[in-house]
Structures are given as C-alpha cells and as structure tokens.
Amino acid sequence: MRASRDSVWARAQAVVSDAEMDAARAMPLEQVRDMAKAQIDKAKAAWSEASKLTWWGDGLLPNYLHWKPYKDVIANAEMNFDLGEKEPDGARRKELYVLSWRTARTAVDSIAREANLDRSYWSILAAPIVEKGKQALDDAKEQIRQATNTGLYATIAIAILFAVLQARK
C-alpha cells in the first residue's frame, strides 16, 4: 500500500509542481475557488469524453469499471471543494480549494494521457505561473533585441573603421 501512495504522490507532483502549488496558494481566495471549480468541471468533462471510448484491456473490462477510479478521484476533488465551501477559516478554506484543484488536475492528466486527449485543453494552470512564463518570454525577447542592436552597432562601427582605414590609404 505504501508504494501505491508514493506513486500517486509522485504523479501528483509531476503534474502540478511545488512552484505552481505555491503560486496557487498566493492567489486570492476567490480566484483559487474559481480555479478549483473550473478544473473540477473540466475533469468531469474529460471523464465523460474518455468514458465513451471502448476499453478492452486484459480481457473484457466494461468501460465503467475501467474509468471508475478516475471518477472516484474527481469525486474526491469535489469532496474537498465542498469541505472548503463549509470551512469558516479562510486559510484552511484556501488550502482545501488548492487541494481540490490539484486533485482534479491530476485526474485530468491521467485521463487525458490514457485516452489520448489533449492535456493542455483540459488543464487549468495557476495564472501566476503562466504570467511568469509570459514575463520570461518578454524578457528573452528584449535581450535578443538588445543583442541584435548591439551586433548591428558593432557591424556599423567595424564598417566605419574599415572605411576610415581605406580612406587613409
């Protein structure tokens, strides 16, 4: 049983990094709540889509039995969300929403992987992670622009120097 728990934990960490968890925890409570609710809705939709696929596995395993563990994980995410709705303490409420979002996101990743669905469509990312990525891209573009300008200036300087040396001859 211990190995199973470790593999589930490792899978959850692979899907949602600690940095993204920290980013989600840093969001305002209502934003985390909305993110968790949206991810649960997407998880249900992914499960619905995947459960329509025929699954043969090791013998004839009915679709419902094959996809049921994923439905149970989604139910767990819903349970944590519902607990968050009833929790009076704001910090604990936010943590339950973050847990709900992470659980639903892990379910989505597993379902999408097994059913060959596009995971990027079904996953809700913590916005600060996306914003950090956009900022890093903008920073890289600026560095490239500066390097290009520096290279252009260097080329012009060399051309002028070459012209001056040619004029001296």
Tell me the pLDDT of the chain (169 aa) as tens digits.
Answer: 344 444 544 555 567 888 888 888 999 999 999 999 999 999 999 998 888 877 665 555 666 677 888 999 999 999 999 999 999 999 999 999 999 999 999 998 888 888 888 766 677 776 555 555 566 667 777 777 776 777 777 788 788 877 777 777 6
Q: Indicate if 18 and 41 belong to the same structural domain.
A: yes
Same domain, yes or no: 106 and 144: no
For residue 156, the enclosing domain spans 126-169
Shared domain for 119 and 136, answered yes or no, is: no
- 118 and 146 within one domain: no
CA 106-108-114 angle, to 5 degrees, is 105
Residue (of 26, 116, 44, 45) closest to 81 by Cα position? 44
- The structural domain count of the chain equals 2
| Shared-domain flag, residues 20 and 90 | yes
Claim to verify: residue 35 and residue 103 sit in the same structural domain: yes
Q: Dig out the tokens for 80 from the structure.
A: 């944590």
Shared domain check, 96 and 120: yes
**Dihedral in degrees, nearest 10, Cα atoms 148, 151, 156, 161:** 170
What's residue 116's pLDDT?
83
Report the distance separating Cα 134 and Cα 140, nearest Å: 10
Query: Are residues 153 and 115 part of one domain?
Result: no
For position 131, what pLDDT does the model report? 55
95 and 120: one domain? yes
Tell me how far apart the alpha carbons of residues 158 and 155 are, in angstroms, rounded to a whole number. Answer: 5
